């Protein structure tokens, strides 16, 4: 079972202050990893770090603004200088702007593309540059969405960003395979988080998700933890460029 352990590994997790990112950070820590929690400064971020420390692992909070694309390389350099070079990068930070395509503002379009796609590329690039310079292997896990494969009304920008993220995952996997950097994506189904709160608090939408999901329930951030540990651990050392649907069976049925 050592192939599922992450002892002596350092993981940088974006969006780690709550939701999916926090659930994955806790799971990686439970498998032995130390965690760099990257998000905007907030009480939630400090609380998430305290939860990791309570598991007996090192936890460092790294304030970041994923809108500042130009600033990401220097930010990453400083994180490495202060805390060490991560072996694992989890891009769990994400945002959404729901609106009919005809009324979506370009500001909202750009927000989705910037945070969900461009910032992820910049973070992956910074991670790879450090790993390559150190001659070290690495694992990248991108958190995508069912919308790598289908779209729901009022989600044009989000679907475009997550569709791009699915292809970016494959492109980086093939670019960096010979460098020992493995890149995969997890596509969550409908997970009960702050981002989906307007949906799971809507009785009609809640009933639809439970009916449409073969396993008959919303997922939780904890449901994504072990799959992330798998993709971060030696157990997945021959897996790269893959998109793992953790969706309760959603994508496999009409
Ligand atoms: C929506 C939801 C979805 C989920 C998730 C599903 O508006 O339908 O926000 O986008 O967040 O992406 O995989």
Domain annotation covers residue 87: yes
Q: How far apart are CA 216 and CA 237, in angstroms?
A: 32
Structure tokens at 7: 């002892």
Domain annotation covers residue 179: yes
pLDDT of residue 49: 98
pLDDT of residue 1: 73
Q: How many separate domains does the chain show?
A: 1
Q: How far is the CA of 118 from the centre of ligand 1 (A)?
A: 19
Q: How far is the CA of 191 from the centre of ligand 1 (A)?
A: 8
Region 216-228 average pLDDT: 98
Residue nearest to atom 9 of ligand 1 (CA): 196
Region 28-56 average pLDDT: 98
CB-CB neighbours of 222 under 10 Å:
14
Checking if the pLDDT of 64 tops 80, the result is yes
Residues 69-90 as b/e (b if ≥16 CB within 10 A, e otherwise) read eeebeebbeebbeeeebbbbbb
Look over the chain and give the mean of its residue pLDDT values, rounded to a whole number. 98
The angle that helices 156-176 and 106-113 make with each other, rounded to 10 degrees, is 30
User: Best mutation site among 97, 145, 201, 220 for ligand 1, i.e. most ligand atoms within 8 A of its Cβ?
Assistant: 145
Region 61-72 average pLDDT: 98
Domain annotation covers residue 48: yes
Tell me the HSE value of 56 on the side-chain side, using a 13 A CA sphere. 5
Domain annotation covers residue 254: no
Of the pLDDT bands very low, low, confident and very high (cuts 50, 70, 90), residue 218 is very high
pLDDT of residue 162: 98
- The CATH number of the domain holding residue 172 is 3.40.50.720
Could you list the active site residues? 158
Q: How far apart are CA 222 and CA 136, in angstroms?
A: 29
User: Best mutation site among 21, 92, 101, 152 for ligand 1, i.e. most ligand atoms within 8 A of its Cβ?
Assistant: 152
Whole-model pTM over 0.85: yes
SS3 194: coil
Domain annotation covers residue 253: no
Residue nearest to atom 3 of ligand 1 (CA): 190
Containing structural domain, residue 121: 2-247
């Amino acid at each position: 079972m050592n192939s599922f352990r992450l002892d002596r590994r350092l993981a940088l997790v974006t969006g780690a202050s709550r939701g999916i990112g926090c659930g994955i950070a806790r799971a990686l820590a439970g498998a032995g990893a130390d965690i760099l929690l990257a998000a905007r400064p907030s009480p939630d971020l400090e609380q998430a770090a305290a939860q990791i420390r309570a598991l007996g692992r090192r936890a460092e909070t790294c304030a970041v603004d994923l809108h500042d694309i130009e600033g990401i390389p220097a930010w990453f350099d400083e994180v490495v200088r202060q805390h060490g070079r991560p072996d694992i990068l989890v891009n769990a930070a994400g945002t959404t702007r729901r609106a009919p395509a005809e009324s979506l503002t370009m500001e909202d379009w750009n927000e989705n593309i910037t945070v969900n796609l461009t910032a992820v590329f910049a973070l992956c690039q910074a991670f790879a540059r450090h790993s390559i310079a150190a001659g070290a292997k690495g694992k990248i896990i991108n958190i995508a969405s069912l919308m790598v494969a289908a779209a729901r009304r009022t989600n044009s920008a989000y679907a475009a960003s997550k569709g791009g993220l699915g292809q970016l995952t494959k492109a980086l996997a093939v670019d960096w395979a010979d460098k020992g950097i493995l890149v995969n994506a997890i596509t969550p189904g409908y997970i009960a988080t702050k981002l989906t709160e307007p949906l799971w608090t809507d009785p009609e939408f809640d009933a639809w998700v439970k009916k449409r999901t073969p396993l008959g329930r919303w997922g939780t951030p904890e449901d994504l933890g072990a799959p992330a540990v798998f993709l971060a651990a030696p157990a997945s050392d021959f897996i790269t460029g893959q998109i793992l649907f953790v969706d309760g069976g959603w994508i496999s049925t009409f």
